[in-house]
Amino acid sequence: TWNMGVVLLLLVMMTAFVGYVLPWGQMSFWGATVITNLLSAFPYVGDVLLQWIWGGFSVDNATLTRFFAFHFLFPFVIAGATILHLLFLHETGSNNPAGLNSDADKISFHPYFSYKDLLGFPVML
CATH number where 21 lies: 1.20.810.10
**Total number of domains constituting the chain:** 1
Amino acid identity of 16?
A
Q: What is the pTM of this model?
A: 0.74
**Position 99 in a domain:** no
**Contact status, residue 75 vs residue 11, Cβ threshold 8 Å:** no
Instruction: Give me the pLDDT at residue 114, please.
Output: 82
Q: Report yes or no on 100 lying in a domain.
A: no
Q: Could you tell me if residue 51 is inside a domain?
A: yes
Q: What is the rounded radius of gyration, in angstroms, for the C-alpha atoms of the chain? A: 20
Range of 54's domain? 2-94+105-124
Asked if residue 30 belongs to a domain, the reply is: yes
pLDDT (tens digit, 9 = 90+) per residue, 80-121? 999 999 888 888 777 666 666 666 666 777 777 888 888 888
